[in-house]
Amino acid sequence: MKSVVGPVVLAADHGGFALKEAIKRHLRVEGVDVLDVGTSSTEPCDYPVFARAASEAVASGQAWRGIVVDGAGIGSCMVANKIPGVRAAMAFDLATAKNAREHNDANVLTLGAGYLAEELALGIVDVFLSTDCTVERHRRRVAMIDAIDKSRGNTPENPRGPLSSRSSPSMASPDFDSLVGRITQILTSNPSLLVQPTCGGSMVGGDACAGCPIGGHCATRCADTVRSMIACVGPGCRVSGAPGGGEVPKDLAGFIDHTLLRADATYSDIDKLCDEAAQFGFASVCVNPVFVKRCAARLSGSSPVVCTVVGFPLGAIPKEMKALEARRAVREGASEIDMVIAIGALKSGDLRFVEDDIRAVAETAHDGGAILKVILETSLLTDDEKVAGCVAARKARAEFVKTSTGFSTGGATAHDVELMARAVDRKLGVKASGGIRSAEDAKRLIAAGATRIGASVGVKIVKEARGIAAASKIEAVEAVEAKEAKGTL
């Protein structure tokens, strides 16, 4: 490759790992000397670490140019430009790559793997490495950029000038305060890592409450305790149940994603869906992406959130497109994303592809503060494939696994829900959807382990549930009256 006069350093986080590896192969074929500073897998990691390593290699002269890849390319660019002597630019097409070199003499390129197809990314790399900054007016402006570092005493030779206190310590010395802070953040967000609570406030290893000798039946046997926990945790709380727990004495509404995914749904249909969700206190409305903004506006100030679907209903589109769908939906007001898994890849046994597919959407959702549910389409899978899909979803950091789209050959079954709950070790929620037509259907699936119900007949289910509860109370009163009449009470 012409114009390449020295080593090129590559770096990426887990979201950019696959594209980094493709760039590395491409450059080596071209005879370019490559320095790879990580990451070395798709295991979750922090992009600032690797962006900094690549940028310091360029600033120190160890590398001639640097290329850093993360999910969007933005964060790594910010990190790189904190390193004295680095002029980093994010490019998203050939024109911006050329401009970064011709006008700004950028020496570090950052790329967003979530936005770029591999072929385009490789083209951007070629343009970046083969374009020079030669026009005098551009070189003069680049010198003005470099002068800012020099005026502050920050240069590649003296990186710790007056502003060095703003930078983190060298990677050669472990930053224990940052490490402790990170661990504290994780444990604060996941208190179950410290102790595993059972019902009644008892802890594993202590005295479990008498109602739950095997655990997992708290919602049935210790309903008041569970209600107290929900009140403390807030509306984001999810309570899992083990198989065999019987009828859960809870209002079903909070489990339900009120769903309308028909192609012929009108604006008035969507408005009615939202109004019913607010009236009955459903967990969310689940709609096609085109209606997300409308639902978010109509539900503003209400408890239900907006859920939408990605890669729906076949799951047979590239992960980059799924991530783009998710990003647009989150920006327009979606708080929950239901993505369809790469079904063909799962049935082919390509679990790495499946996991990467999920992770791309999970990272996008999480960046926007949304949660991810992964639709397996269980009617098309064997039990082993269902388990493998659940394991991939957990590894990719989804929050839920979901049975069905409702558009295939079958819907949710108690067997599938129980199998999925076991497969995720009850660490993820389980959403049952497809073919749920009654309160009894919903209760059966909740007892099997479902923590969310997707249904287009949510109003009917809630009304039935309330009717069943009322009928039970009437029967109980009649039984007492009968006993009093007989003198047996």
CATH of the domain at 106: 3.40.1400.10
Residues 160 and 299 in one domain: no
* Count helices and strands in the chain by DSSP H and E runs: 18, 13
Interval 362-390 mean pLDDT: 94
Strand partners, 247: none
What pLDDT sits at residue 411?
Answer: 78
| Assigned domain for 227 exists | no
338: annotated active-site residue: yes
* The one catalytic residue among 13, 149, 257, 338: 338
Omega of the bond prior to 364 within 30 degrees of 0, cis? no
Q: What is the mean pLDDT of residues 165-174?
A: 39
Judge whether 178 lies within some domain: no
Q: Which of 402, 416, 441, 443 is catalytic?
A: 402
Question: Do 146 and 252 reside in the same domain of the chain?
Answer: no
149, 255: one domain = no
pLDDT: which is higher, 244 or 455? 455
Q: What is the mean pLDDT of residues 148-166?
A: 55
Catalytic, 347? Answer no
182 lies in some domain: no
Known active-site residue 431: yes
Question: What whole-number percentage of the chain has pLDDT above 90?
Answer: 50
The whole model's pTM is what? 0.48
pLDDT for residue 184: 62
In this structure, the answer to whether residues 128 and 261 fall within a common structural domain is no
State which amino acid sits at residue 336. E
Q: What is the pLDDT of residues 113-133, one digit of tens each?
A: 988 889 999 999 999 999 998
- Span 411-436, pLDDT tens digits: 778 888 889 989 998 789 888 776 65
Q: Coil, strand or helix: which one is 57?
A: helix
The last residue of a domain, from among 166, 198, 224: 166
Question: Is the domain of 148 the same as that of 254?
Answer: no
What 3-state DSSP class applies to 168? Answer: coil
pLDDT at 352 over 50: yes
Whether 172 maps to a domain, the answer reads: no
Residue with tokens 């660490």: 427
Residues 6+ apart with CB under 8 A from 396: 355, 356, 358, 359, 362, 374
Same domain membership, residue 153 and residue 262: no
Do residue 38 and residue 156 come from a single domain? yes
Give mean pLDDT, residues 14-33. 93
Residue 441 lies in a domain: yes
- The reply to whether 202 falls in a domain is no
Residue 225 confidence (pLDDT) above 70: no
Q: Which carries the bigger pLDDT value, residue 456 or residue 262?
A: 262
Give the mean pLDDT of 348-357: 96
- Asked if residue 406 and residue 294 are part of one domain, the reply reads yes
* pLDDT bucket at 259, cuts 50 / 70 / 90: confident
DSSP 170: P
Domain boundary residue among 166, 198, 213?
166
- Hey, what amino acid is at 301? G
C-alpha gyration radius of the chain? 27
Any idea what the CATH number is for the domain that residue 459 is in? 3.20.20.70
Sequence letter at residue 332: E
Q: SS3 for 358? A: helix
Residue 254 near residue 233 (C-beta atoms within 8 A): no
Closest CA to 138 of 103, 105, 107: 103
pLDDT exceeds 50 at position 377: yes
Q: How many domains does the chain have?
A: 2
* One domain, residues 331 and 444: yes
Instruction: Exactly one of 250, 386, 431, 443 is catalytic; name it.
Output: 431
Domain around 352 = 248-468
Q: Are residues 315 and 461 located together in one domain of the fold?
A: yes
Q: Are residues 280 and 145 in the same domain?
A: no
Q: Are residues 124 and 21 in the same domain?
A: yes
Length of the chain: 489
Strands 65-70 and 8-12 come out as: parallel
Is 264 buried (19+), middle (13-18) or exposed (0-12) by CB count in 10 A?
Answer: exposed
In a domain, 208, yes or no: no
pLDDT for position 3: 66
243 belongs to a structural domain: no
